[in-house]
Each structure stands twice: as C-alpha cells, then as structure tokens.
Structure 1
C-alpha cells in the first residue's frame, strides 16, 4: 500500500497547530481563508517547506468569497509533485495539511495527494486511508470533483465521496445537523 512518499501524515485545524510543533514536521500545506492573517504557530516549527493556498470552504460561488477553483487543485497537485521530487534521499518526512477546522479543505487536499501518489488504489481504499489519518474527514466536494477530472478518475472519486459521506453520517450522525447549518445540503444529498 502506498500512501505518500513521506512517512508521517497529519491533518489538523488551526487550533491544533501548536501541538504539532514538536513532531518534526517537514512539509506543510496550509489552506486558509483569503482574509485570515498569517499564522504565528509556524514560528515554533523547525525547518520546513510550506505552501499556502487561500480560498474559502464553500460549495457555490458567493459574492465576497473566493470559491475553490481548478487552479487550487492544480496547485495541490504541484505541491504533491514537489513532495515526490524532494523526498529522494530523505529517510523520513512529516506532511501536515491543515485548514481552519481540519475537516473539509484539508481532508480534500490530503485525498488529492493520496490519489495522485497511488493511481492504482481504489477510490474506496483512498477514503479508508483518509479516515485513518483524520476520522472526522468531510472533504470539500467541489475540490474532489476537480481532482477527479484532473487525475482522470472518471467520476470514481466523486462516487466514492458519496459513499464516504454516507459512512460518516452513520458513525457521526451529528454531521447531518452540522452540515445543514453550514449550508452543505448538496453534500448531504450526495450521501442519500
């Protein structure tokens, strides 16, 4: 089983970042809202390579918000390529992917990186791996749709996402109310 060409994978939210500072993080992918100030937490980290992308965790374009676009997923895939190139000769590495809560944008990005790295893995296997890294994962469906296209998965990533949402609603039924309040009814509908 491949995961990524790096030994440790972590997904978290902003509040969890300080606790990661002692874990020898080597690579960080930050997915932040455009207006959010730079984060101080990384000052306590050792030497690491960090890429920051800024867009909102929304599902449909909205006035005053930056919607996820194909270029954002392209940038995530570019980050994945740099991981592959930079890992040669490295004995170990620790990839941290984070967004505001560590639930949606970051889990979508990690799934994109896993799918990029292991084109032979089934889509359901990729979501199983994602849940082993971040059990509360609820990946942004727009990002997964773009990744499905860009990785030539033929709709299979989106279909596996439907099953993933269904799985999450069974084990975490509170997500039904939470996602409704967050305006993510279209993702809930995908699970049905």
Structure 2
C-alpha cells in the first residue's frame, strides 16, 4: 500500500476515501490536530516548518524523526499510511521520503526522491527533517543529496496547498 501525502484541509476526505491504517500529523504546535476519523493509530507531532533554530519556534528534532520511525516500524502495509502537514509541501513530503527510505534500506535514495518529485511537482521536503532522518538511518548524506538533487518545489505562499499524492511503500532493491 502507498504512502499518501496531503495538506491538512484534505485529511477528512483522505480518511474517508483511502481508509489509512495510520496517520502522521506534522503541524505547528499551536495548530489543532485533525480528528482521526476512527483511525486508531495517529501520531501527532508539533513542530514548525523551519530548517534553522529560531527563538520561540520548535524546529524538527531527532526525537520527531525517531517517533516516526518507531510509529511505522510495525506497519504491515495492508492499508495506506497518511502523512500530512499544513500545506502538504514540506514537513509531510520529508516525512514520506523518510518512511520510504526506512522501509527500503537497499533502495537508492535518489530513486525514491525522484519518485517523490514525479508524484508532486510542488514537493519541497524540509531539509532539516531529511538531514535528521539521514543520520538516524545511517544513510551517509545520501538522503540529503537526493533531495537536493530534485530541487525545490513551490512554496506554500505561491500555491496555498499541494494536491494530494502518493508514493510507493516498496521499491525493487538494486541488484
């Protein structure tokens, strides 16, 4: 089953139509989390969409990435996982990339990154989340390099929010 990415406003529709096994919500700490619509596995992470440390803001941290990795460790992939942030552009795309890399340790990170780019031209994965995941998964900078190679997507203030999309949860391992 796929990893589905969407903005906050589309979460109820995605729950209703795609019936995810679990949900990962990545929102500013002051933003209310959506109702999980009967989905019992819901990871709620409060962080700002920033790549550097700023006073009064909570950056993505290693504990956030570890929580995601633990949360998906027992996912059987029988049903999709839904990942969302406010706009479906940065935190959620970085987290979807993290999940795909974690579940596919023998797959080239660039293949997963380009799959993400083809699925969402607006994706602009949060570089801090990617770097933290790169370290947590011992990828030696390859995740960071792969995301850098696909380039920036469109900023939320240009498009408002991204269209929902999905990427595979399983890839063919390189020979």
Instruction: Please report the TM-score for the alignment, with normalisation by the length of structure 1.
Output: 0.74
| Distance in 2 (alpha carbons) for counterparts of 1:81 and 1:50 | 14
Higher helix share: 1
The match for 1:19 is: 13
| Distance in 2 (alpha carbons) for counterparts of 1:117 and 1:93 | 15
Instruction: Please report the TM-score for the alignment, with normalisation by the length of structure 2.
Output: 0.81
| Distance in 1 (alpha carbons) for counterparts of 2:88 and 2:112 | 18
Assess if the C-alpha contact under 8 Å between 1:13 and 1:102 holds in 2.
yes
Assess if the C-alpha contact under 8 Å between 2:33 and 2:44 holds in 1.
no
- Is 1:9 the counterpart of 2:3? The answer is yes
Kindly name which structure, 1 or 2, has the bigger radius of gyration based on alpha carbons.
1
Q: Could you tell which deviates more after superposition, 140-149 or 13-22?
A: 13-22
Q: 1:164 aligns with which of 139, 150, 156?
A: 150
| Distance in 1 (alpha carbons) for counterparts of 2:145 and 2:63 | 22
Structure 2, unpaired ranges of 5+ = 159-175
Q: 1:62 aligns with which of 54, 62, 70?
A: 54
The match for 1:73 is: 65
Question: How far apart are 1:81 and its partner, in Å?
Answer: 0.8
Structure 1, unpaired ranges of 5+ = 1-6, 169-173, 179-192
| Distance in 1 (alpha carbons) for counterparts of 2:83 and 2:27 | 11
Q: Name the structure, 1 or 2, with higher relative contact order (CA <8 Å, separation 6+).
A: 2
